[in-house]
Amino acid sequence: MRLVIDANILFAALIKDSLTAELIINDELQLYAPEFLLDEFAKYEKIILKKTHRTSDDFKKFLELFKRRIKIIPQEDIMLFIEQGTEISPDPKDVVYLALALTINAKVWSNDKKLKEQQNQIEILTTEEILSRIKSIK
């Protein structure tokens, strides 16, 4: 399953050992993200460490795992769909995720209810929905 992963999903995976973290390493998922995502993640390292009580080494290991599992798509590859993403996005912060989903013909992995309910061009899947679909495949 091709999925654009949003930043909050990565934060959730790091904050606690969870199904989210397990899904990120699941081979049935092909994960994609805009190029700024991992930079953004690294930028908030201190805040994340404080909230998670993890060590800096733990954070670096997670970051390396994310880099191996998530294909990063350059901004210039997404630009063709930025305008359409802007038109359908209920939140300016989500434009690039929607534009990337349009670019690569993928769904978006997000637990954002507003994103799921206030646009209907891109399928938004929550962590629970992805888990359910993977279980039904097996």
| Tens of pLDDT, residue by residue, the chain (138 residues) | 999 999 889 888 877 667 888 899 899 999 999 998 877 777 888 888 887 777 889 888 888 888 899 999 999 999 999 999 999 999 999 999 999 999 999 999 999 999 999 999 999 999 999 999 887 655
Considering the entire predicted model, what is its pTM? 0.90
Neighbours of 94 (CB within 10 A): 23
Phi/psi at 17 (5° precision): -65, 125
Q: Which of 127, 70, 77, 125 is nearest to 100 (CA)?
A: 77
Burial of 92 (0-12, 13-18, 19+ CB in 10 A): exposed
Architecture of domain 2-137: 3-Layer(aba) Sandwich (3.40)
Query: Rounded CA gap, 5 and 8, in Å?
Result: 8
